[in-house]
Structure 1
């Protein structure tokens, strides 16, 4: 629909998901953004959600700069408190909640998001990043979710550039960004507040009617009549909180395989369908038509969740894995599940 990240990168490249269900952080050999989540284009094949990398290192020096080794091994010198940041990745919402000084980002990655209005004064650098535009903005730091070495080499000539693992867990990303941007305390406060809000939301929902052990599923269509079930990405990451709803056994297997999502057939839908079903509304017209056809099928109409009126829809562009979207999803889930 909230990871499908490498998926998101692929979507933007192939669509530039013509933008969840990512990347929204993003399988069956295909994956999204903690992803991100945009289906204007096609999905990327054979990727999984990688774990947080232990190679990220930063050491402050006496002149107000620091040496940092990103998760792909690039060693850079950057300011301890950068003031002009270009960010190209589907988890830009992480920087937004930290009030980071963002001066440029690809606009096509933020259209339709819950935070689009908060970036209206930020320059559009395109994707791949337009080198002339980036140079014109005079950044002191460029953060990219791309792992293309050619692009990295060009960007690093403009400003210190680091590759950022947007598929890493939310808390890991926020902690690292807080450290890199000179906002450690703000990042720690955000994490604590978010975790507390999440726990309170689920406690209240169970007090108001949810049944312990209830399962949930998240589905979306991509162009080409391709149906996906979401696992470790975007909205699913919020639903499958330890205090939240549970994945079905079939989805748990995808999670155990460390996949962001997996393509399935409509005939196997019942194997993945939970007590509650969430549909990520597609952007692409062909994907919308596939979704409408699913709703008219007997397979869909016979699902227990459908019969019990426990189906919910969310725009795929509002189901990403970033911090700002997570804040919104907590409020939206509380509203939907109390109806």
Structure 2
């Protein structure tokens, strides 16, 4: 799949799975960034789905009964060796040290985790059943709730549906169960949350108040403007100890939406104290975003006038575990305007 079409793929997949789709300088900034780096030297929700191991046989042949995201009870291997992961958060597997045999390549093209999956085969979007058969998987993790597709894919190998738009904790915990990596998932999450807490402390110490709000925007071709909610960069911004969503973004979060398409005129109603722009992949959308930034509505926003606007590449600000680690390093630099 071409990179220009990646954002459309993400939006389509999100719609299927979610049901919708002040700065301080000088020494304070240096100290704040240092706190995060120090925490990082120390190391890198509980699942509602059940997994019950079956006794007998070798560990490689052992199976467990697993209830997946959409309610299927599936007999899956406890130590799968040939995994196909078809979803948007492929980088989660790298955090657990798992190398899948098949992935949705468009989910990693141009991202921070692309090199981690250079040996994996592309099973396409939509899911290519013939390619999956060639890969001879012993487990397929399918990030979609479409029952018709599931029925076809499940004929290839044991298949479980998986909510790739769940929280980081939910995803890693469930993947740990499915992949025989429970301890790795636990250790990774503990280290991550230590780093995340240090990041927010650094940002608070740098002068960003506890009640300050933030909004993430991006553009899709055709002047389609989106305010992001329960996906990507927003998930870390609105995490415990983080920045607050504006009321309209909170409504989207409460509704379980990944994003909301809005008109340019609605920008002031969605805009927070800090604005994050995700640079699109598509060239036309990049130009349209630049035009938006030149307009009166955008330039009239208080955050813009105060210089509280931060830009990240769309492909850098994914929801997966590796992207979240990267964002922990980058957010203090952006918000505190430090290098």
What interval of TM-score do these two structures reach, taking the shorter chain for normalisation? 0.7 to 0.9
- Compared CA separation, residues 114 and 45, structure 1 to 2 (3 A): closer
Superposition deviation, residue 97 in structure 1? 0.3
- Compared CA separation, residues 22 and 168, structure 1 to 2 (3 A): farther
Q: Does 1:19 align with 2:6?
A: yes
- SS of residue in 2 equivalent to 1:253: helix
TM-score (norm 1): 0.84
Match of 1:144 in 2: 142
Deviation string 1:88-113 (CA, Å, 9 cap, x unpaired) is: 10011111100113111121221111
Deviation string 1:13-66 (CA, Å, 9 cap, x unpaired) is: xx897317975xx8xxx983xxxxxxxxxx7799248x9984x22211113111
Instruction: List gaps (5 residues or longer) in structure 2.
Output: 22-44, 57-61
Q: Distance in 1 between matches of 2:257 and 2:134?
A: 39
Q: Does 1:57 align with 2:29?
A: no
Deviation string 1:271-316 (CA, Å, 9 cap, x unpaired) is: 1111111001111223222201101101111111111111111111
Instruction: List gaps (5 residues or longer) in structure 1.
Output: 1-11, 33-42
Q: Say if 1:31 and 1:48, in contact at 8 Å, map to a contact too.
A: no
Superposition deviation, residue 335 in structure 1? 2.0
Q: Say if 2:3 and 2:109, in contact at 8 Å, map to a contact too.
A: no
Q: Distance in 2 between matches of 1:228 and 1:100?
A: 33
Superposition deviation, residue 188 in structure 1? 0.7
Match of 1:173 among 161, 171, 174: 171
- SS of residue in 1 equivalent to 2:201: helix
Q: Say if 2:13 and 2:144, in contact at 8 Å, map to a contact too.
A: no
Q: Say if 1:31 and 1:262, in contact at 8 Å, map to a contact too.
A: no
Q: Say if 1:93 and 1:324, in contact at 8 Å, map to a contact too.
A: yes
Q: Which residues of 2 match residues 263-282 of structure 1 at below 5 A? A: 263-282=261-280
- SS of residue in 2 equivalent to 1:255: helix
Q: Say if 2:90 and 2:107, in contact at 8 Å, map to a contact too.
A: no
Normalized per residue, the structure richer in helix is: 2
Q: Does 1:47 align with 2:36?
A: no
TM-score (norm 2): 0.84
Q: Distance in 1 between matches of 2:176 and 2:18?
A: 31
- Compared CA separation, residues 168 and 245, structure 1 to 2 (3 A): same
Q: Does 1:260 align with 2:253?
A: no
Match of 1:190 in 2: 188
Q: Which residues of 2 match residues 222-233 of structure 1 at below 5 A? A: 222-233=220-231
Q: Say if 2:99 and 2:120, in contact at 8 Å, map to a contact too.
A: no
Match of 2:154 in 1: 156
- SS of residue in 2 equivalent to 1:77: strand
Match of 1:329 in 2: 327
Q: Distance in 2 between matches of 1:145 and 1:52?
A: 19
Superposition deviation, residue 225 in structure 1? 1.2
- SS of residue in 2 equivalent to 1:99: coil
Match of 1:38 in 2: none
Q: Does 1:221 align with 2:214?
A: no
Q: Distance in 2 between matches of 1:235 and 1:46?
A: 16
- SS of residue in 2 equivalent to 1:289: helix
Match of 1:306 in 2: 304
Match of 1:36 in 2: none
Superposition deviation, residue 222 in structure 1? 1.4
Superposition deviation, residue 83 in structure 1? 0.9
Match of 1:211 in 2: 209
Q: Distance in 2 between matches of 1:45 and 1:144?
A: 11
Q: Distance in 2 between matches of 1:53 and 1:78?
A: 17
- Compared CA separation, residues 264 and 315, structure 1 to 2 (3 A): same
- SS of residue in 1 equivalent to 2:101: strand
